[in-house]
Every structure is written in C-alpha cells, then in structure tokens.
Amino acid sequence: EDKVVQSPLSLVVHEGDTVTLNCSYEVTNFRSLLWYKQEKKAPTFLFMLTSSGIEKKSGRLSSILDKKELFSILNITATQTGDSAIYLCAVSNNGRGGADGLTFGKGTHLIIQP
C-alpha cells in the first residue's frame, strides 16, 4: 500500500521567515510526486516532480525530489500571510500495477503570523 508521511503536521512562523516542509513516501512503481496548497476548500496544484535533483521553482516557492532517499521538500522563502494554508504532498504510481489515483499525506498546516 502506498504511503505518504508529511512533517511537521503544523508550523507557525512569522512573516518573512523561510519554511521547509517535508514529505517522505513509499510507493510501488513511482511515477510522480505532487504538491498542493489547500486554503479554504479545493486543493490547488503547485508542483509535479518526476526526476531527482531537479528543482522546480515558482516565485518564492521551490521543491526538489530525492528518489533515492524517497523524499521531497517544499521551501517557501520570505513567507507572507497569504501563504497560510494546508500543504499536501501526494504520490502517483504508474497505473500498471494498481491504478488508485493519488495517495495524499495528511498535510502540513502552515500559519504565518504578521
């Protein structure tokens, strides 16, 4: 059974701080790892990573995957109050052994204080 573990579960920092969110996984026939941001309702897509060592960046957010050690990190620099959200990590398998969509971690609840 595929498994995703995120840490920390909750994090409170001050505006301007840099945060690192962690995601470790176990998955058969790994295909990709995805990060989502969930503010009020629907999770919204941030990054999809398929190869080790290639950093994906979008403004102040960046993410990297280590397929050997089976983890990914999501970095947010110069945090703003609008970054407050639950950040979800998910993994997908290649669909051949057992197509079961994405397996999500329980998320990291990030709170940015002004």
Contacts with another protein, residue ranges (CB under 8 A) = 31-32, 34, 36, 41-45, 48, 88, 90, 92-95, 98-107
Cβ proximity to another protein: between 15 and 103 the closer is 103
Cβ nearer to another protein, comparing 39 with 78: 39
* Comparison of 19 and 89: residue with beta carbon closer to another protein: 89
- Can you spell out the DSSP letters for 28-87? TTEEEEEEEEESSSSEEEEEEE-STT--EEETTEEEEEETTTTEEEEEE-S--GGG-EEE
